[in-house]
Amino acid sequence: MAVGEYPFPHMHPVKGVKLTAVSAGIKKPGRRDVVLFELAEGAQVAGVFTQNAFCAAPVTVCREHLSKAAIRYLVINSGNANACTGEQGLLDAKATCAEIARQAGVTTEQVLPFSTGVIGEPLPVQKILAVIPDALAKASEQGWDDAGAGIMTTDTRPKGFSQQFDYQGQTITVNGIAKGAGMIKPNMATMLGYIATDAKVAQPVLQQLCREAANKSFNRITIDGDTSTNDSCIFIATGQVNLPEITSPDGELYEKLREVVLAAFVHLAQCIVSDGEGATKFVTVAVAGGANQQECLDVAYAVAHSPLIKTALFASDPNWGRIVAAIGYAGVPDLDATSVRVHLNDVLIVEKGGRAKTYTEEQGQAVMSQANIAINIHLGRGDCAETLWTTDLSYEYVRINADYRS
């Protein structure tokens, strides 16, 4: 199940990025499950990762390698998360990097490993090692479609973004792919996201933009409130475009690039929500009028995580009492219930501590029957605002997660 149309776009090549997906037999036979990125020399790489204390072995290795070396290869397997695998998990992740390094003539630290899938099973490292020669041979600038499909697990469709803009006669490309459908409440980044540009960006600027964009996109979505052990988001700048390096977060080129990069992150994050496990609704929760950002987020997450609201959304039931109950228990200090206003899309439903006089059930029903619903909350106590995106809770969510060992 998935909400709306998010077709996989035509992916322009990004100069300096070659990639492919091959089949190692980790997922069902015939499905591609190992993706390899090959980056041109000089590429800069930034990353943000899960804050889960039980972070997966590859996340630990990524953090270490990113801090030590110029990254040239990324290897991603789907079907096994290599999480909660103890010391052996770290050895397996490093063995994968070491073998790619050996065959490609780089150092082990120049390879970043990623895994997504079942938690707690040993990584089938021999299967991965066996397909490395094939992956290295096949990597090409045309590999984005295959890579987008190769990183999927319970996703029903691949998620991609590709956009170009011109600057001083040069064309700059921003591409991205992501995966994720369950265990989604990223705290740094989504399950897995890879965004690449051929612009030339200094690493500190790249890292800062990666963090800002993740905070406005992947860190503002939630499907089930479960923060994964493997969340990783990587932002690559190959520097292959014939333009000066961006060395500080300002100037016309930086602003143009930032705009497209933010669009890429937000699009991929929204793709993940629209493909949320069992999702039948795409829900925007926008909280304004807060005294600070945190209380806006607290209210937004309380609404987005409430199983009662999520089941009402599934039922297309304008059960607004559940929304105000969630606002009320979100922990906002000294919240004055009579100053809170709630709109469903542009229909005012709650004001002065009760149902709006103008509200009719038909108005609410008309909004709730749509696939895209905005819950707009105004706290009436300040100027801060936060927006996040989520889904409903359906039979299908229960079926997927009761049947599937993820």
Binding residues for substrate, by number, are 153, 179, 190, 277, 401, 406
Is 116 among the residues that bind a copy of itself (CB under 8 A)?
no
327: tokens are 């606002």
Is 294 among the residues that bind a copy of itself (CB under 8 A)?
no
Is 390 among the residues that bind a copy of itself (CB under 8 A)?
no
Q: How far is the CB of 88 from a copy of itself (least distance, A)?
A: 8
At 220, which amino acid appears?
R
Among the listed residues 47, 160, 182, 193, the single contact to a copy of itself using CB under 8 A: 182
Is 229 among the residues that bind a copy of itself (CB under 8 A)?
yes
Q: Which stretch binds a copy of itself (CB under 8 A): 125-133, 145-153, 163-171, 349-357?
A: 349-357
Looking at the DSSP bridge assignments, the partners of residue 378 are: 288, 341
SS3 category, 289:
strand
Q: Which stretch binds a copy of itself (CB under 8 A): 84-92, 163-171, 195-203, 257-265?
A: 84-92
373: Cβ–Cβ under 8 A, 6 or more apart, which residues? Answer: 281, 282, 283, 284, 313, 344, 345, 367
Among the listed residues 228, 238, 240, 376, the single contact to a copy of itself using CB under 8 A: 228
Cβ-based neighbour number of residue 327 at 10 Å? 24
Among the listed residues 354, 358, 360, 369, the single contact to a copy of itself using CB under 8 A: 354
Q: Which lies closer to a copy of itself via its Cβ, residue 137 or residue 337?
A: 337
Q: Are strands 170-179 and 192-197 parallel, antiparallel or unpaired?
A: antiparallel
SS3 category, 92:
helix
**Cβ atoms 403, 314 nearer than 8 A:** no
Q: Which stretch binds a copy of itself (CB under 8 A): 6-14, 105-113, 114-122, 138-146?
A: 114-122
- Counting every residue written for the chain, the total comes to 406
Among the listed residues 34, 36, 201, 312, the single contact to a copy of itself using CB under 8 A: 312
Active site residue 190: yes
**Cβ atoms 391, 3 nearer than 8 A:** yes
Alpha carbons 7 and 24: distance in angstroms, whole number: 27
Is 82 among the residues that bind a copy of itself (CB under 8 A)?
no
Is 83 among the residues that bind a copy of itself (CB under 8 A)?
yes
370: Cβ–Cβ under 8 A, 6 or more apart, which residues? Answer: 345
The catalytically annotated residue of 190, 197, 284, 390 is 190
Is 345 among the residues that bind a copy of itself (CB under 8 A)?
no
Catalytic residues: 190
